[in-house]
Chains A and B, each alone.
Chain A
Amino acid sequence: MSDADAALETALQSLVGGQGSVQVATEPVGASEVSAWCAVMSEANPLFVDEAVAASGPYGGIVAPPATLNMWTMPVRIGSDSVGRDTDQPQQTAYQLLDDAGFTGVVATNSDQAYEGHLRPGDIVSTRTTLTGVSPQKQTALGTGHFVTTEVAYANQHGDPVGTLTFRIFKFRPGTGRQRGDEPVDDSPRPERPRPRWNQDQAWHWEGLRQHELRIQRFTGSGRLVHPPVVADPTTHDMAYDWVVASGRGFLYSWTAPEHPKVPAFDYPLVVGLVELEEGVRVVSNIVGVRPDQLEIGMPLEVCWLDSHDDVTLHQFRPVRPDRRTDTLVRDDVSVGDRLPPCPIDITTELVTSGALATFDHQDVHHDSDAARAKGLPDIIMNILTSSGLAARWLGDWAGDRAVFRNLRIGLGASNHPGDTMTMAGSVTDVGEGGAITVAFVGTNSLGNHIHGSAELALPEGSQGAEGSA
C-alpha cells in the first residue's frame, strides 16, 4: 500500500463514528408515488393503496410499503453523476476523499432495513446518518476499494422513529478489478446443443415450436392425445391425427440435474425435468430459472422458449409466478424449513427503468444503456431499491396482506440486466415467539445470485389452515 493510501485510510478511519445533522425530505410521502411503486413492483397489497380496506387493517390506515423507507430522501441527480458533497455529513466527506483518491466507482452492496413504525401519505421523512465503518482497502472482482457503511435513522415529522437503514457501498478504482483477461479467453463460438432430428411424422411438432406453440398429437377418431408422437392410435390403429396446442401449463413430475460429464453446449446447473402438462401428457424439457435444490415434485410450471439453433426452437419450463394468497399466513401454519414457491421475474428494460424512476433513483446506469456501456456495463442495471421492492412483493404474495415486515436485509451480487430472468426462492429459517418468522431468500439470474437476504415478518397468531401456502 502506498503512503497516500495509508494516509487516506487514516483520514477515513478518523471519520468513523461521526454523525451528520438532521436532513429533511423536500417532499412528503405521496399516495400517487406509492401507487406508482406498487404498479412497478406488481405489489397488490390493498393496505398500501385502498383507504377503506386499510382503515380496518393492522396499520389503521394506508401506509407506504416498508421497502420504500429510504426512497423518500433520495437525492435528485438529473444531469450529473455526482451531487455536491455536503461536508456536514461524515459519509459525504468520506465519499469525497475516496473520489479524490481515484475510488470513483460505486456500487451498493447491502441494505438492511429495520422497521419501527410506518410512513403514511403526507409524512415528512427526516434522517440522521452515522458513518459506522470504512473497511481497509479490499480487492474484489470490481476493483480495489473500500466498503463504506452508514446507519441512517428515519423519523416522521412528529419525531417518531419509523426505521433504520444500514447501508453499505463499495467505492473502488475503476479498472483495477480482477480482469477476465487474466485468464485464457475462450472466444470460440459456443457449440450448439444436440440438434433434434425429425421426419414427416413429427415435423409439425417442431414447426409449432418455432411459432411458440407446443403441439400435442391428437388422433381425430378417438381424441386420444399422444406424446411423443406415433403414427397410429395405439388403441384403434387409426392413422388420422391433428394436434392441439397445449396451454403450456403443467407440473413437475420428475427431474434430474446432470453434472458430469459437462457438455459445452449447456449451462450448469442444468435441470432436465419431466413435465406433466395440463392436457395429461408428459414432455421432457429443461426447467429454467430454478436451481436443483429449489425444485419440488408437483410444482406448477409454465412454458417458455429457447431458440437453440438457427431453425430450432425448444420449449423450456419455468416456475409459475405464485398466486398472491388471499388470506394471511398465521404463525401456526409456518414451520422452519417451509419453502416459499419459486417465482420468476422477467427483467425488462421497462422494469429496470420504471423501477429506478419509481424509487427516485435517477443514476444514469439505471435508465441509459449508452451511459451504462460507457461505464463498462453490458447494459443498464436494476437499482437496489427495485430489487428490494420486488423481493418484498414476492414475500408479501406468499405471506399475505396482514403480514407485517419487521426488517428486510439484502445483499446484492450479480447485476440484473434486461433480458434476464431473476427467480426468487427461499425458505423459513426461524419461527419465533410473538408470531415473528424469518425467511432467508435468494434471487438468481443467469449470472448468479443477484440478491440474497432475509426478512422478518410478524404473522397473526393462531391457525386458520395453510391453504395456498408453500
Chain B
Amino acid sequence: MWTPARRTAIVGIGATEFSKDSGRTPMQLATEACLAACGDAGLDPTLVDGMSLFSMECNYEIEVARNLGIPRLRFFTMVNHGGGGGCATVGLAAMAVHTGAADYVLAYRAFNERSWHRFGSGVQAHHQSPEANDVSFSWTSPFGLLTPAQWAGMFATRYMHQHGATSEDFGRIAVADRRHAANNPAAFFHGRPITLEEHQASRIISDPLRLLDCCQESDGGVALVITSAERAEGLDREPAWIAAAAQGVAEDQWMMRSYYRDDITGIPEMGVVAGQLWESSGLGPADIQTAMLYDHFTPLVLPQFEEFGFCGAGEAKDFIADGNIEVGGALPVNTNGGQLGEAYIHGMNGIAEGVRQVRGTSVNQVHGAVNVLVTSGSGVPTSGLILTSEGG
C-alpha cells in the first residue's frame, strides 16, 4: 500500500464566492480559484507543472494552463465518476509530487452548476449510444429513475426499512450542516439555520428524500495546491499534511445505482477507502477530531459513519443524535456547512475546509483538531483523505 507518509501537503486553497448565478463563465471561475489557491500558498502560478482533475470538469487543464501562463505541464489526469473523484485528485497529486512526477499540482472544480448545467435536471436525454456506459442506464431511465436524488432514494428506503432510521434521522444531518453554514460568511446559507421541523415540512423530491435532504445547486470554484514537504518549506502556509489518500470501488459497483448487491444499506466502496485510510495512516476513528463527509444527499451520509467504524452498521442514527456531529459534539461534521449549507462544489469545498481545520482557521474551528477525515461522493466510485497538522 502506498502512503503519502505526511510528506506531501495541501499548501494553498482558493475559492470564488458561492452563488446561484455567478455571472461569469466556468473558465473564469476556474482561473480565479486557481489564482487564489496559488496566492494563498505564495506560489508563482507559472511554477505549477501538474493538474489533477475529476470528470464532469468542463475546464480542461490546457485551457486553465493557457490562462495561468503555465509553460509546461508534466502531469495531468482526470479521475472518472464525478463527485467520487474529488479526494482522488489530491491523492493522485500527492502521488505525483511524492514520486517526482510533478513539483506543484493544482486540483480544482469550477462550474455554473446552478445557472448553467444543473446535475439534478435528469439524464432523460442522455445515454443514447449502444456502448456499455450508456446501456447501463437502460435498466433505470425508462422507468423514470433519472436524477441523483432519485437514485439515492432507492437506497434511503431500504436503509430506513432495515435499520429503523427515519426521515428525521436524515434531517439531523441537514440541521447540523445548516447550523455550521449559518456561522460561515462564505456559505450561501450564512445566517440561515434550519430546524428539524422545517426539514420535515420541506417538500418531497423523491420519496423518502425531502428538499432539505438534498444538497443545494451552486455556481463557484475551489482550487487546491499540492506539493512536497521540501517545497512546502519555501511557501507561505503551514502545510495540511496528507496522512492518507485512497480510492475505492467495491464488488458489483454501479454509478449511484449499485442496487444488485446482497445488501444495499452500506457503501462498500467507502469501506474500501476507509480500510486503506486507516491502514495507511496508522490512525483509527478515535483519532479523528472532525470530518467532512460528502453530503449530496443526507441518507448517504449515515452509512459513512458506519463504513469508517465510528459506529456499527445501522447505528448511525444513534451516533448522530443529540448534536454529536455539531460543533461541540464528539465528531463535528461539515464545519463549513457542507454541500447543503455552504455550497455544492462537488466536494472540493469540503477538502478546503479540512485544510482550514488543520490550520486552525475554520469559522467553526474544532479545538485540538489534528486529524481531519474528508470523503468524496457516496454511492459512486469514491475516494477519501486524512489531513493532519502533524507531518513534514
Contacts and interface: CB of A to CB of B under 8 A. Distances in A.
Contact of B150 (A193, A227, A228, A272): A272
Nearest to A227: B260
Nearest to A196: B138
Given A199-B135, A255-B157, A258-B150, A194 B142 contact: yes
Interface string B15-39: 0000000000000000000000000
Contacts of B131: 199
A196 B204 contact: no
Interface in A170-229: 193-199, 201-202, 227-228
B153 interface: yes
Contacts of B153: 256-258
Given A253-B158, A274-B154, A297-B157, A197 B143 contact: no
A84 to B, nearest CB: 54
Contact of A259 (B138, B145, B154, B207): B207
Contacts of A324: none
Interface stretch (A142-150, A263-271, A330-338, A426-434): A263-271
A285 interface: yes
Contact of A256 (B132, B134, B156): B156
A469 to B, nearest CB: 20
A194 B125 CA distance: 7
A291 B209 CA distance: 16
B360 interface: no
Contacts of B2: none
Given A198-B130, A297-B158, A284 B138 contact: no
Interface string A244-285: 000000000111111111010110001010100000011111
Contacts of A282: 259-260
B138 A197 contact: yes
A197 B145 contact: no
A440 interface: no
A313 to B, nearest CB: 10
A201 B139 CA distance: 14
A193 B142 contact: yes
Contacts of B204: 257, 259-260
Contact of B142 (A199, A201, A274, A308): A308
Contacts of A232: none
A260 B205 contact: yes
Contacts of A199: 130-132, 135
B146 interface: yes
Nearest to B140: A284
Interface string B111-140: 000000000111111011111101111111
Contacts of B129: 197
B203 interface: yes
B128 A286 contact: no
Contacts of B141: 193-194, 196
Given A254-B154, A256-B156, A258-B147, A195 B203 contact: no
A308 B141 CA distance: 12
Interface string B239-255: 00000000000000000
A258 B146 contact: yes
B258 to A, nearest CB: 11
Interface in B307-353: none
B171 interface: no
B138 A261 contact: no
A227 B128 CA distance: 21
Nearest to A284: B140
Contacts of A281: 260
B155 interface: yes
B206 interface: yes
Contact of B259 (A258, A259, A274, A292): A274
Interface of B: 120-125, 127-132, 134-147, 149-150, 153-158, 161, 203-209, 257, 259-260, 264
Interface of A: 193-199, 201-202, 227-228, 253-261, 263, 265-266, 270, 272, 274, 281-286, 292, 297, 308, 312, 314
19 contacts: A196-B142, A198-B130, A199-B132, A202-B138, A254-B157, A256-B153, A256-B206, A256-B207, A258-B207, A259-B207, A260-B205, A261-B121, A263-B144, A265-B144, A270-B144, A272-B144, A284-B143, A297-B161, A314-B143
The 7 closest A-B pairs by CB, nearest first: A256-B153, A196-B138, A254-B158, A257-B207, A194-B141, A199-B130, A258-B206
